[in-house]
Structure 1
Amino acid sequence: MSQGGWGAIALAAALSATSARGASEPPLAAVTLVGPTEMVFSAKRDACDGDDVPDAPARAFRDAEGGIVMFGLHTKNRALRGRDFAALKIDCQPTMPSGGDAEPASYDDASWIAATWSEDGRSVQALVHHEYQANTHPGRCSRKEYLACWYNTVVAASSRDGGRSFERGAPPVVVAAAPFRQEVGQGRHRGFFNPSNIFGQGRQRFFLSSTTGWAGQDGGACLFRTDQPADPSSWRAFDGKDFVLRFGDPYRNGAGVKPCRTIWPFPAPVGSVTRHRPTGAWIAVFQASASGDLFPEPGFYSTSSRDLLRWDKPRLLLAGKTLYDDPCTSGGRLISYPSLVDPEAEGRNFDDVGVSADLYYATLKVEGCQITSDRDLLRRRVAIQVWP
């Protein structure tokens, strides 16, 4: 989420996912671009209004009639819909407009539907990336800068009409929050943010969420699990031994928790995680700025795992300056928000891939040093190989 989301911020430098190391060599899988670029959505051409820009990784599910519903736009959370992926068009009805509420305990300031899960195509559970932008509410922040006042939580929403409208509780269920309120620690970005897609194995459902950390908590990506996705209060984070940590609402229970274990090698939010159908291996894609030997170039990277805890060394998938790079050096265009979606997926929620899939991502035009709303959602075919 940029300009009110992931932003033109040096976020990757602030995160250090140093835990759960143990990369396997050689890499377990290779994801390779093999197809031309296809336009899925152009903000200048297709938007209903100025709020419709690609601003999150693409998330899709099949509705009860077999059509495709995809999220990944801005804070009115409009969906793309179509009989198949080739026919996706924007639906101008907002599914969950953001309220701009100045009360942080309401969790209704700026919200993005960041992940969805549906068992039947009618009832849909969503993970919402929520930003309390305290700099926009007088008296709520000691600073004036956006990032210094940014307080993030992952909250729950649900739909009973196939994703045409989403509701949050009053108050919403908090899935992941730092164990302190928004006024604590101002001066830097705080909280949990940018959940990956929800992905499943058997009865279990998972997602990864990033955090910049706090005293006792490393920054990085933490893994969450539940076997009851319809009950958002059931999500628990991994502490290094088991999924036992509940990062609940600091405005209502106020209890601190032990730190979650961050998962190497993710330096920032994870774009998507999918299961390779032929082998059961997990494949993640994400973006990174250039950093040492692990990320020699800025761009999109892939990594793979057998158990979601030990991942192999990332491999460059698509080179290019990302939202984690200085826009002044972008050359006029950035790339961001990668996710893998296989149109032939067996699961309703497109959390599995075969020998090929589509890489969905956004390009963002930069004018001078300013990221603009001139953005496109693109896709490119990739080939996937997993070694025994």
Structure 2
Amino acid sequence: MKIRSNARTRAAAHLFAIALAVAPVPARAAGDPPLASVTLVGPPDIVFTPKRDACDGDDVPDTNARAFRDGEGQVVVFAMHTKNRALRGPDFDHLRIDCRPPLPSNGNADPALYDDASWITATWTEDGRRVEALVHHEFQANTHPGRCSFKEYLACWYNTVVAVTSRDGGRSFERPKVPAVVAAAPFRQDVGQGRHRGFFNPSNIVGDGAARYFLTSTTGWSGQNSGPCLFRTTNPQDPGSWRAYDGRAFSIRYGDPYRSTSQPKPCENVAPFPAPVGGIVRHRASRAWIAVFQAKADGSRFPVSGFYTTSSRDLIRWDEPRLLLAGATLYDDPCGSGGRLIAYPSLIDRQAVGRNFDDAGDHADLYFATLRVEGCTVTSDRDLVRRRVAIRVLP
């Protein structure tokens, strides 16, 4: 498998640097005891491997798996690189890649168009036909002459969460004539170069009554701390209706810095996540929210590197993290990884009641990517894997 150099190194350079640069969110003085326990109960099962399954060299797992049922009852999963090809099938055991790219990345050199490098990172649908998607968009200024005063990817990296819509069950997505910005830094890409900047890696969208929520991380800037922030809307078909939590209410609307001079107040960071939230589900019996994420060992809250889970009643206060799967992640130095990394965790219950797989029973599957390392280089040899987990509500 071959893939463009920026694609091949995105995961390693991007997330490893973020782990070093994004300060951990301060924990509450006395963490609540966990509401739920998530444990592995099954061996790894390869869902997608590029050497066997890919359409071309762009098809590698490169983001957290997101799933929904389309209008024909087919399962649709997004987890690939910047052509955003979907896996489709009658169920999770019979997924095949659809070689039509529903949202290609066009490498546009105009940052105001938000059409450089895009990853579909969250989806929501009410009927399986119209699908709203949140896109992790990177303006990679180092690849566009004259756009950055540095040469390095991360020094020029400018990230925004934008929205796109499909009206054919996720087979194609439309970019609106005026970009639909959901979360953006209040300055343009040429400001503050020398480090990565913006909002990045949204979680999946989850529903609670009429409300929809997602968490997305920010690198921080003057007046805004780094870490995940929570967003809410009652109308995901209107990207402008998303509001971020300010510590008391969902009041913050982020404008497009290329079309607005607004300076929103800072959003409230949500503990205990050190950086992006991989995925969220709601346990059907207990109504507890359960999130999975990756963390680098820090000698205290995260004694070893790997995937952790935490649970919540309200998506704002989360309890003490519990280790789910130990292993070197993309937050760790690949030189000491032992040849393989794990990344991009999410939880999906194949028996979910909701069309968007945002609920789970007493069992689910942990989806994640494994990435082969050669020396100190993270390669494009990576698989999408799942492992069965058991979910138990604690007394």
TM-score by length of 1: 0.98
Is 1:98 aligned to residue 105 of structure 2? yes
Name the counterpart of 1:67: 74
Is 1:223 aligned to residue 230 of structure 2? yes
1:361 corresponds to which of 357, 362, 368: 368
Is 1:267 aligned to residue 274 of structure 2? yes
CA contact (8 A) 1:22 1:311 kept: no
* Mapping 1:100-139, distance limit 5 Å: 100-139=107-146
Name the counterpart of 1:39: 46
Name the counterpart of 1:304: 311
CA contact (8 A) 2:9 2:379 kept: no
2:239 corresponds to which of 207, 232, 239: 232
Is 1:186 aligned to residue 193 of structure 2? yes
2:12 corresponds to which of 7, 21, 30: 7
Name the counterpart of 1:200: 207
CA contact (8 A) 2:8 2:380 kept: no
Is 1:168 aligned to residue 187 of structure 2? no
Identical counterparts, % of pairs: 70
Is 1:324 aligned to residue 331 of structure 2? yes
Name the counterpart of 2:356: 349
Name the counterpart of 1:84: 91
CA contact (8 A) 1:19 1:262 kept: no
Separation in structure 2 between the aligned mates of residue 58 and residue 345 of structure 1, nearest angstrom: 15
Separation in structure 2 between the aligned mates of residue 207 and residue 114 of structure 1, nearest angstrom: 11
Shift of 1:29: 1.2
Separation in structure 2 between the aligned mates of residue 4 and residue 214 of structure 1, nearest angstrom: 25
Higher alpha-carbon deviation: 124-133 or 36-45: 36-45
TM-score by length of 2: 0.96
Higher alpha-carbon deviation: 8-17 or 164-173: 8-17
CA contact (8 A) 1:23 1:313 kept: no
CA contact (8 A) 1:107 1:171 kept: no
Shift of 1:19: 5.3
**Counterpart amino acid of 2:305?**
P
**Counterpart amino acid of 1:60?**
A
* Mapping 1:10-21, distance limit 5 Å: 10-18=17-25, 21=28
C-alpha change, 1:261 and 1:321, in structure 2 (3 Å) is same
**Counterpart amino acid of 1:90?**
I
Shift of 1:348: 0.2
CA contact (8 A) 1:195 1:269 kept: yes
2:55 corresponds to which of 44, 48, 73: 48
Aligned residues: 388
CA contact (8 A) 1:20 1:309 kept: no
CA contact (8 A) 2:9 2:378 kept: no
Q: Secondary structure of 1:129's match?
A: strand
Shift of 1:172: 1.6
Separation in structure 2 between the aligned mates of residue 303 and residue 228 of structure 1, nearest angstrom: 27
Separation in structure 2 between the aligned mates of residue 317 and residue 328 of structure 1, nearest angstrom: 23
Per-residue CA shift, 1:224-258, capped at 9, x if unaligned?
Answer: 00000110110000000000101120000121110
**Counterpart amino acid of 2:303?**
P
Separation in structure 2 between the aligned mates of residue 88 and residue 248 of structure 1, nearest angstrom: 38
Name the counterpart of 1:26: 33
Q: Secondary structure of 2:112's match?
A: helix
Separation in structure 1 between the aligned mates of residue 17 and residue 142 of structure 2, nearest angstrom: 19
Per-residue CA shift, 1:154-189, capped at 9, x if unaligned?
Answer: 000000000000011123200000000000000111
Higher alpha-carbon deviation: 34-43 or 8-17: 8-17
CA contact (8 A) 1:210 1:268 kept: yes
Name the counterpart of 2:217: 210
In structure 2, list runs of 5 or more residues that go unmatched.
1-5
C-alpha change, 1:6 and 1:233, in structure 2 (3 Å) is farther
Q: Secondary structure of 2:378's match?
A: strand
Per-residue CA shift, 1:117-154, capped at 9, x if unaligned?
Answer: 00000000000000000000011111111101000000
In structure 1, list runs of 5 or more residues that go unmatched.
none
Shift of 1:23: 5.6
1:244 corresponds to which of 247, 251, 265: 251
Per-residue CA shift, 1:238-289, capped at 9, x if unaligned?
Answer: 0000001011200001211100000001111110011110011100000011
Name the counterpart of 1:140: 147
Shift of 1:16: 2.5
